């Protein structure tokens, strides 16, 4: 059997945090407004404090079921990609399984990755279908990163938004819609994007709440999210073009053979630099982060869903997907709709 | 490549720096305009123009545009 993407839907939390509100909160950032706008975000959706990543993932799955007339009983495997889980144990996918009324003979697992997570999840789904004999994988991604932000972390508050996505990957007899993969990891960069305290390694203590301000006037502490934005930018600029080139080589394809390139929506300024390095024509790039911000593992499926909805991506199109970020971790694949 | 061209490129790329306002002694980090977005713009500029990677740590060690220019020169030479 061969695996292919059958349907994608997504859910964004209701609460919107606009640029107008952002500049009211950080009036000192107004002088830098023109540069900040190059990132490509106008507004982001922020999760309600009473909701969790699994709650919005359930909502995304319900949107998928209703938009594409999918019955829960058709699902025989659930994969949940997130970084914020409901409990230390049990697995959030088991909790989601119950809320979606999925059948008892359906497998369910969580995995923890950020911006590279969607591509990794597609590789798991492909393996389950093409090697194990699973028929319909429900693959959910969810990011609620804004919950971890320090209230003075003006960079993260500008860039990121919350959101969840649901993708159905199904078996068919004829053609594989998910191609080769390139994976990469650099654990030396683990501290470049991190919430240091509050996990198993470092419990929360008084020192977790001591505020630190970096070279660029950005404040956070060890109980909150930290990102070395400049370091991550350099990582993206160096790693992504190499990964794309390697994947094209593995697939014996060239830029001209790809109909559309979808990069993790980290920052449109960065994506354009990556595009220029690879000499990809502008019309082959599709972005969608203006109304969402960087939604971590949900960013690629949101863009893909919007590309399909708007007609930019059509049946039969070959689309290169590239994710990169926290870990540091990266992955790319080529899908055919 | 020479430092005058490099400075012109920075002034073209970053709107806040008007032509003729920067010189080899300027400490970019001490200019009022300097934010992390400016660091990204400078890193991308150097990557595009000279195919040289400058890191956040490099930017932390320099105290003038000349220092930055010298780092680029040393990496082009390798």
- Distance in angstroms (rounded) separating the CA atoms of residues A261 and A71: 31
| Pairwise pLDDT comparison (B24 vs B78), residue with the higher score | B24
Domain ranges of chain A: 2-175, 180-336
Fold of A180-336: Peroxisomal Thiolase; Chain A, domain 1 (3.40.47)
Confidence grade of residue B30 (pLDDT, cut at 50, 70, 90): confident
* pTM of the complete model: 0.95
For A66-80, what is each residue's pLDDT tens digit? Answer: 999 999 999 999 999
Pairing of strands A193-195, A136-143: unpaired
Q: What is the DSSP letter of A114?
A: S
- Distance in angstroms (rounded) separating the CA atoms of residues A263 and A273: 12
CB-based contact A18:A43 (threshold 8 Å): yes
Q: Is the Cβ pair A230, B43 closer than 8 Å? A: yes
* B residues 38-77 closer than 8 Å to A (CB): 38-41, 43-44, 47-48, 53-56, 59-60
Chain A residues in contact with B75 (beta carbon < 8 A) = none
Chain A residues in contact with B39 (beta carbon < 8 A) = 216, 230
Asked if A229 is an interface residue toward chain B (Cβ–Cβ < 8 A), one would say: yes
For B36, the closest of A34, A155, A238 (CB atoms) is: A155
Fold of B3-77: 1.10.1200
- Distance in angstroms (rounded) separating the CA atoms of residues B57 and A42: 30
Given a cut of 90, whether residue A320 has pLDDT beyond it is yes
CB-based contact A176:A130 (threshold 8 Å): yes
Domain ranges of chain B: 3-77
What CATH code is assigned to A2-175? Answer: 3.40.47.10
pLDDT above 90: percentage of residues in chain A = 96
- Distance in angstroms (rounded) separating the CA atoms of residues B9 and B49: 9
For A12-39, what is each residue's pLDDT tens digit? Answer: 999 999 999 999 999 989 988 988 999 9
Mean pLDDT score of chain A, rounded to an integer?
96
Q: Is the Cβ pair A229, B40 closer than 8 Å? A: yes
Q: Is the Cβ pair B29, A273 closer than 8 Å? A: no
pLDDT of residue B33: 74
pLDDT of residue A64: 98
Q: Is the Cβ pair B41, A35 closer than 8 Å? A: yes
CB-based contact A327:A114 (threshold 8 Å): yes
For A216-226, what is each residue's pLDDT tens digit? Answer: 889 999 999 99
Average of pLDDT values for A193-203? 96
pLDDT of residue B29: 87
> For A57-61, A249-253, B38-42, which range has the lowest pLDDT when averaged over its residues?
B38-42
Given a cut of 90, whether residue A322 has pLDDT beyond it is yes
CB-based contact A78:A102 (threshold 8 Å): yes
For A35, the closest of B37, B54, B56 (CB atoms) is: B37
Given a cut of 70, whether residue B78 has pLDDT beyond it is no
CB atoms within 10 A of CB A31: 12
Distance from CA of B44 to the nearest CA of A (A): 7
SS3 B30: helix
């Amino acid at each position: 059997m061969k695996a292919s993407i059958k349907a994608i839907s997504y859910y964004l939390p209701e609460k919107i945090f606009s640029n107008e509100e952002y500049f009211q909160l950080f009036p000192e950032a107004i002088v830098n407004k023109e540069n900040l706008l190059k990132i490509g975000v106008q507004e982001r959706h922020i999760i309600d404090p009473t909701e969790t990543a699994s709650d919005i993932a359930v909502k995304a799955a319900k949107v998928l079921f209703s938009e594409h007339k999918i019955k829960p009983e058709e699902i025989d495997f659930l994969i949940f990609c997130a970084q914020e889980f409901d409990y230390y144990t049990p697995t959030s996918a088991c909790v989601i399984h119950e809320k979606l009324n999925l059948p008892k003979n359906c497998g369910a697992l969580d995995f923890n990755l950020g911006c590279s997570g969607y591509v990794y999840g597609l590789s798991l789904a492909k393996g389950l279908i093409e090697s194990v004999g699973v028929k319909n994988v429900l693959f959910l991604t969810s990011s609620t990163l804004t919950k971890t932000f320090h209230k003075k972390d003006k960079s993260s508050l500008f860039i990121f938004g919350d959101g969840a996505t649901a993708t159905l990957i199904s078996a068919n007899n004829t053609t594989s819609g998910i191609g080769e993969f390139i994976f990469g990891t650099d654990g030396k960069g683990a501290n470049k994007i991190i919430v240091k305290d509050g996990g198993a390694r470092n419990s929360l203590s008084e020192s977790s709440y001591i505020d630190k301000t970096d070279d660029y006037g950005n404040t956070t502490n060890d109980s909150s999210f930290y990102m070395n934005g400049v370091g991550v930018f350099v990582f993206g600029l160096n790693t992504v073009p190499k990964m794309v080139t390697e994947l094209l080589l593995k697939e014996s394809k060239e830029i001209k053979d790809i109909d559309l390139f979808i990069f993790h929506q980290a920052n449109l300024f960065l994506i354009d630099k990556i595009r220029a390095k690879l000499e990809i024509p502008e019309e082959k790039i599709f972005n969608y982060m203006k109304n969402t911000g960087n939604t971590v593992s949900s960013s690629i499926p949101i863009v893909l869903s919007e590309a399909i909805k708007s007609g930019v991506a059509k049946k039969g199109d070959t689309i290169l997907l590239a994710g990169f970020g926290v870990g540091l971790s990266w992955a790319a694949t080529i899908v055919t709709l | 490549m020479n430092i005058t061209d490099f400075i012109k490129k920075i002034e073209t790329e970053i709107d806040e720096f008007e032509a003729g306002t920067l010189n080899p002694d300027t400490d970019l980090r001490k200019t009022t305009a300097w934010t992390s977005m400016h660091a990204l713009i400078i890193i991308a500029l150097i990557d595009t123009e000279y195919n040289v990677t400058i890191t956040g740590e490099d930017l932390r060690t320099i105290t003038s545009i000349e220092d930055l220019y010298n780092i680029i020169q040393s990496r082009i030479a390798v």
